[in-house]
Structure 1
Amino acid sequence: MALGLNTNVTSLSAQRYTTNTQDAQARTLNALSSGKRINSAADDAAGSAIIERFAAQIIGNSQGIRNLNDAVSLSQTAEGAISSISDNTERIRELTVAAGNSTLSASDRQALQAEVNQLSQSNNDIIQNTQFNGMAILQGGSFNFQGGANSGQLQNLNTGNLAGSGALASVAGQIDLSSVAAANTSLNALDQDLQRISNERSNLGAFQNGIEANINNLRVSIENQAAAKSRIADTDYAAQTANLAQESIRSQAGLAMQAQANASSKQVLSLLR
């Protein structure tokens, strides 16, 4: 190889290789210290885009679980209130059966009617006052819940209107115990009430079961997405530690080669003496 003073190609080449090695060493140290294989898009552009998509899915599904937990809470609130209405209505029916007795005096019937009226008012109060986050939930309504990260994952709950037009007989003051015949007519109305109450409770129970299944499915999805994200994003400490050792050796070798290359220039001076 020719010896020259103006340009030391060997030194420049050694510097380039050493710089590349030191850059790789810096990236490895960054990965080891941060725990992340990808700390910027420059580290792996495609991998970075995939990680962002996984992260969006994980965040969205986590929020979906919180939304569905609210759905369960609303449903449980409604079911608890309807359970109380059911208890009151069953007691009203018991009193109505008791009124189907010709031996009762007028004062007996008044006492039975008074308790029925109290229980009916209690049912009405429950319907009017049962709310979830300020919203009445037993007066008919449609409630929607985003149950995941993506469109098409909307969950819907429709609750029946137990007040107003078409209200329960035990709420609308239609239970009459003034005679055996009136009590018998009231029994038919109460049986219809209890059937409606049963249907509402069944609807809420089925909704809760479906929501619980969706929540469990979202948890599995989050677990799998987090595992997939980890495989792409997280540092493999065994591999990166081995890389660091190799890069350290290369860096030291490169510096040594630069010293040798720089020394060749001094040989030119010795020829000029």
Structure 2
Amino acid sequence: MGMQINTNIAANNTYRNLTATQNDMSKSLEKLSSGLRINRASDDAAGLTVSEALKSQVGGLTVASRNAQDGISVVQTAEGSLSEVQSILQRVRDLAVQAGNDSNNADSRVAIKTEVTALTKELTRISDSTNFNGTKLLAGGADLSFQVGANSDASSQITVKLDSANVNTVVNALGGKDAAGAALTGAVQNKGFTVATGTATTVTIAQTAGKTPTAIVIASTDDNAAVLAKLQAGVGTDFTVTADATKAGQYNVVSKDATLTDTTANLIAVSGTGVVNGQVSSTADKALDFSTAAGAAAAIAVIDKQLATVSTARANLGASQNRFESVVKTLAVSTENLTAAGSRIRDTDMAAEMVKYTRSSILVQAGTAMLAQANQGNQGVLKLLQ
């Protein structure tokens, strides 16, 4: 090679290598200072895509875990209040059992009724005041949905049903009202039907004070299948119409509820022609009556039904709480594993990167020294010019 001064090939070559080494050293410094192997997409485009997806999953699962813990808090709040509701119902039942003893005089029964009334008001207060973040839990509100996963699919959500945890229905039952709060007059369903076939009709409705209606008895002078068919069409599918085998022209309309029977001892007579409005029910719970032993016995049956309802509601909430606790544990494991997966992709191996940095640092120093030598190489031309 000839001797030139305009172009220093050795210096250019050394400078190119030094620049590349300095870039490597700069990247190593960035990774060592940030702790991240991927600081920009150019570091690892595919790895960045995967790590960002994992980062989203980890973030979502972290929030979902907090949501599940909030769900536990909601369930605990509702179930705790239901525990007191059950305690109150147990006390009311004890009072009903006490009222069933005829050793009580009228004043004693009034005192029992006074305490029951106060306890019923407390049930209403519990229903109105039990809430979580402003959402009433025991007033028959809508079901609550909890996001316990990082995605939008159904498996990431849990629904807690609050329909069975409705204390208002308990209060209504104790006060002789239906589920909607309307006062019961011995019946829930009002059935209108026509039985007149040109002759007068006598209707006997099962409705007496303090009694739950059990049947309607229709007496007609026309003893034929047409009357029977009209009766069945009139009362609907909740009741069965049969012809009385012992009394011509009499038809019994009986609830299909197996717990009710056709007991004529509790019937009163209402006569009329044309359209007759019959009131029949298999679910009417009258207001609790402690004035007689019979009324107290009936009250015990009503209270037992409500106790069973509250127990079922508490069991459902307990199952939901156990489910939330399992969710929290599952999310913790998933979060840990996904975090580890993201770390393996994105985090810097500090030991390995320090080796690279040390190598680059030495090469930079060597390259700088060699560039100085290369710059001195062409100065030999000056001796030729002397």
Which TM bucket (shorter chain)?
over 0.9
1:122-141 paired onto structure 2 within 5 Å? 122-140=122-140, 141=142
Which runs of structure 1 show a deviation greater than 4 angstroms over 4 or more consecutive aligned residues?
Answer: 163-168
C-alpha contact 2:61 2:335 (8 A) present in aligned 1: yes
Q: CA offsets, 1:117-149, max 9 Å, x none?
A: 111111111112211111111122211111121
2:174 aligned residue: 170
- Aligned partner of 2:174: which letter? S
- Counterparts in 2 of 1:115 and 1:179: CA distance versus 1, 3 Å: same
TM-score, scaled to structure 1: 0.94
Work out which structure has the larger RCO, using CA pairs closer than 8 Å and 6 or more positions apart in sequence.
1
Q: CA offsets, 1:91-120, max 9 Å, x none?
A: 000110111112211111111111111111
Q: CA offsets, 1:143-189, max 9 Å, x none?
A: 11111211120111110252556755236672211111111111111
C-alpha contact 1:124 1:171 (8 A) present in aligned 2: no
1:197 pairs with 2:200: no
Q: CA offsets, 1:30-54, max 9 Å, x none?
A: 2212222222222222222222112
Q: 245, 268, 273: which one pairs with 2:358? A: 245
Distance 2:11 2:175 in 1: 96
1:20 pairs with 2:24: no
1:191-270 paired onto structure 2 within 5 Å? 191-270=304-383
Distance 1:71 1:228 in 2: 28
Distance 1:119 1:40 in 2: 67
SS at 2:161 equivalent:
strand
Structure 1 residues 131-140 or 85-94, which shifts more?
Answer: 131-140
Over the matched positions of the two proteins, sequence identity in percent amounts to 39
Distance 2:378 2:118 in 1: 109
Distance 2:8 2:38 in 1: 37
2:110 aligned residue: 110
Structure 1 residues 97-106 or 159-168, which shifts more?
Answer: 159-168
1:143 aligned residue: 144
Q: Which has the larger radius of gyration?
A: 2
- Counterparts in 2 of 1:167 and 1:107: CA distance versus 1, 3 Å: closer
Q: Which has the higher helix share?
A: 1
Structure 1 residues 167-176 or 84-93, which shifts more?
Answer: 167-176
TM-score, scaled to structure 2: 0.67
SS at 1:42 equivalent:
helix
The aligned length equals 273
1:76 pairs with 2:80: no
Distance 1:213 1:13 in 2: 64
Q: Which has the higher strand share?
A: 2
1:48 pairs with 2:48: yes
Distance 2:57 2:377 in 1: 59
